[in-house]
Structure 1
Amino acid sequence: MKIPFLLSVVVLLFMSCRTNEKPTPVFEHDLTDGPTPWTSDVFEMEEKDFTFAIISDLNGGEREGIYSTAVEQLNMLDPTFVLSVGDLIDGGTEDTLQLEKEWDSFDKRTSKLHMPFFYLGGNHDLTNPRMREFWKDRFGPRYYYFVYEDVLFLMMDSEDFEEQRMMEIYKARAEALKIINGEIEGVYEESDYYKMPERRLGAMSNAQLGYFKSVLEKYPEVRWTFVLMHKPLWMREDDKGLGKLEALLSARPYTVINGHFHSFSHQVRNGRNYTMLGTTGGSQQESDSLAFDHITLVRLTNPPTITHLKMEGILNEMGNIPEGSTQLSKE
């Protein structure tokens, strides 16, 4: 039986349109109820070489207006979504009213983004057990994963201490801050807090390791894996460091990104790229040439193309830094 010419043309046009349609983005996770640590699960339709952005530390002495400017710049750059590496509020308190005020301020600025934003906690956000509970009630889990377009993201909690140890660190930190502020006598570099390895490197529990082990088993052949954390767990060499997870990652392509030091650095470890981001509004050391405000863009080519854009160079159509920040410089 011959198909009429006109009908065959219609069929070909229909098939052509179907072929050119962009597939619906695939977004997977394991959260079934309660709050979620992202602002939206609605993504713009696009090709598989999508681009996402990362912001670094706001706090540890936030400089006014920087993050608001970053939000405007992110909207100009238009990534598919934005990730964070923690220290989003000043925190360090058990006062829930103060915590609500600080998170409301951050969320108000973040709500101006035109794309989803994914939260991740740092030491300023998860300083004590009460802050953990506040995070859980507001954002859900402290560590989690998601998959977007066959790319796996492991969002880690580097403040994953046993509760007793967390309180020891919290109290030592409070005393160290009093020394820094001149409230009590002492030398910060001689304080108990300064000597604690957790201050610089954080910790990961067996429960978190087990969780991500099961995630990696569930997704053995994704095209890339990104591992984000606040403190550089990979620098800690005992069982609370990243070593066991690195062993589980060893057969796949992956990239590790963290913040915390407020100074940019990059190295190759285990044949993979490990990057410490600078700041997106956090305090900076005047003498550190690698302490700068920036936004990181990651394009999912093979391998991924990672570009770090200094905020002072992201200009609007008039050639100006978007209105919001008056101090894109070190203080």
Structure 2
Amino acid sequence: MVTLQRSLLVLLTCFLACSEPNTNTFLHDSATDATPWSHDSFDDAGDKFTFAIFSDLNGGERQRVFEVAVEQLSLLRPELILSVGDLIEGGTEDETQLAKEWDSFDERAAQVVAPVFRVGGNHDLTNEVMREVWKTRYGTRYYHFIYKDVLFLALDSEDYTPERMREIYEARATALSVGAEDPERAQEMEYYQMPERMTGEIGPEQAGYFVDVLDDYPDVRWTLLFMHKPVWQNEDEPDFAAIEAALSNRPYTLFNGHLHTYSHTVRNSRDYIMLGTTGGSQSSSSEMSFDHVTLVTMTANGPSIANVRLDGILDKTGHIPAGGDTLCFQASACGGRQ
């Protein structure tokens, strides 16, 4: 009987080895049409891949949350990881302090298995000194790359002229100084009236760069955009409008951060997704202000997008890794505690 079973298994293995698409992948000893599995068409397309996105960890970073996210991302094992800005607290021209903050981020990000692609936010690119620090450490502030026939666009939503950047920086510094003592008065100051505070800006040179990139790669299977501020919410922003026009005849998805509250918008029949936080400050009154990472699986039919809350990613012991069981990941569910 054992000899007969072995002979059948050998024959079955030879049969399967000549079959597609499960060659040398799925082997079994069932010899009947009835099987305890639903089918053997595995979801293992060769062009499928998964990447992750983490959102704002600054703008009031809450201690240890990003460390938890790093360990969780290593458990989830995406092939690559994108960010949407506000990686450091910034807001200074002190190069020693900036080096300390960037070293802290880089050391923590280096603990994750997959490569991390940086995207700058207003906390990272607040002034000309910070731009130069970024250039020295990381090169260009906006860029593109292709991975498995998917085009990734990383935009800089703080793309102001040097003069306008200085005006915004000084107005911001003044408002924050006043806000420490009188938050209501600060809300009435110049900085809080500036449209760039909410939606940022894309300059003409950057817009031309991305229009050219899109022209160079018309036939990729999908295009993905990553930025910090929701520039797309400013209907008077001509340079991002030029990028959107160049995108009009292709499938694409956009991700941004900045407001620390998750939302989903359909615009131009495409998904525009604003992420929550991965350690940044939260609103205690919004149920959509929570810590999460986003897992995106690229398939033949486009991206499959899943938002995974940090309080729901447990390790093999049944606990949130890195001591995360003691942390609050949604201020509105913790009595306002952050």
Q: Which range, TM-score by smaller chain? A: 0.7 to 0.9
Instruction: Flag structure 1 segments of 5+ consecutive residues without an equivalent.
Output: 1-14, 22-45
Which one of 162, 175, 188 corresponds to residue 186 of structure 2? Answer: 188
Aligned to 2:268: 270
* Distance (whole Å) between structure 2 residues aligned to residue 248 and residue 133 of structure 1: 30
Cα RMSD, aligned residues only: 2.1
**8 A Cα contact 2:231 2:237, kept in partner:** no
Aligned to 1:153: 152
**8 A Cα contact 2:262 2:289, kept in partner:** yes
Q: TM-score, normalised by structure 1?
A: 0.85
Counterparts in 2 of 1:85-96, with a 5 A limit?
Answer: 85-96=84-95
* Distance (whole Å) between structure 1 residues aligned to residue 229 and residue 295 of structure 2: 20
Which one of 296, 299, 312 corresponds to residue 297 of structure 2? Answer: 299
Q: Which amino acid aligns with 2:296?
A: V
Deviation of 1:240 after TM superposition, in Å, equals: 4.5
Instruction: Give secondary structure in 2 for the equivalent of 1:319.
Output: coil
Aligned to 2:212: 214
Instruction: Give secondary structure in 2 for the equivalent of 1:309.
Output: strand
* Distance (whole Å) between structure 2 residues aligned to residue 304 and residue 110 of structure 1: 25
Counterparts in 2 of 1:21-32, with a 5 A limit?
Answer: none
**8 A Cα contact 1:68 1:324, kept in partner:** no
Aligned to 2:174: 175
Counterparts in 2 of 1:90-109, with a 5 A limit?
Answer: 90-109=89-108
**8 A Cα contact 2:255 2:273, kept in partner:** yes
Counterparts in 2 of 1:220-235, with a 5 A limit?
Answer: 220-235=218-233
Counterparts in 2 of 1:1-331, with a 5 A limit?
Answer: 47-182=46-181, 187-240=185-238, 242-301=240-299, 302-325=301-324, 326-329=326-329, 330=331, 331=338
Deviation of 1:153 after TM superposition, in Å, equals: 0.4
* Distance (whole Å) between structure 1 residues aligned to residue 237 and residue 73 of structure 2: 38
Instruction: Give secondary structure in 1 for the equivalent of 2:245.
Output: helix
Deviation of 1:186 after TM superposition, in Å, equals: 6.9
**8 A Cα contact 1:88 1:124, kept in partner:** yes
Cα distance change on mapping 1:216 and 1:131 into 2, 3 Å: same
Number of residue pairs aligned between Structure 1 and Structure 2 = 292
Aligned to 1:30: none
* Distance (whole Å) between structure 2 residues aligned to residue 77 and residue 130 of structure 1: 36
Q: Which amino acid aligns with 2:282?
A: Q
Deviation of 1:327 after TM superposition, in Å, equals: 2.0
**8 A Cα contact 2:53 2:293, kept in partner:** yes
**8 A Cα contact 1:296 1:308, kept in partner:** yes
Cα distance change on mapping 1:166 and 1:77 into 2, 3 Å: same
Q: Which amino acid aligns with 1:297?
A: L
Deviation of 1:185 after TM superposition, in Å, equals: 8.9
Deviation of 1:239 after TM superposition, in Å, equals: 3.6
Deviation of 1:110 after TM superposition, in Å, equals: 0.6
**8 A Cα contact 1:203 1:233, kept in partner:** yes
Cα distance change on mapping 1:186 and 1:317 into 2, 3 Å: closer
* Distance (whole Å) between structure 2 residues aligned to residue 268 and residue 210 of structure 1: 25
* Distance (whole Å) between structure 2 residues aligned to residue 324 and residue 51 of structure 1: 26
Instruction: Give secondary structure in 2 for the equivalent of 1:242.
Output: helix
Instruction: Give secondary structure in 1 for the equivalent of 2:205.
Output: helix
* Distance (whole Å) between structure 2 residues aligned to residue 185 and residue 234 of structure 1: 28
**8 A Cα contact 2:207 2:239, kept in partner:** no
**8 A Cα contact 1:64 1:327, kept in partner:** no
* Distance (whole Å) between structure 1 residues aligned to residue 302 and residue 141 of structure 2: 29
Instruction: Give secondary structure in 2 for the equivalent of 1:288.
Output: coil
Q: Which has the larger radius of gyration?
A: 2
Q: Which amino acid aligns with 1:136?
A: K
Aligned to 1:8: none
Q: TM-score, normalised by structure 2?
A: 0.83
Cα distance change on mapping 1:168 and 1:271 into 2, 3 Å: same
* Distance (whole Å) between structure 2 residues aligned to residue 217 and residue 132 of structure 1: 28
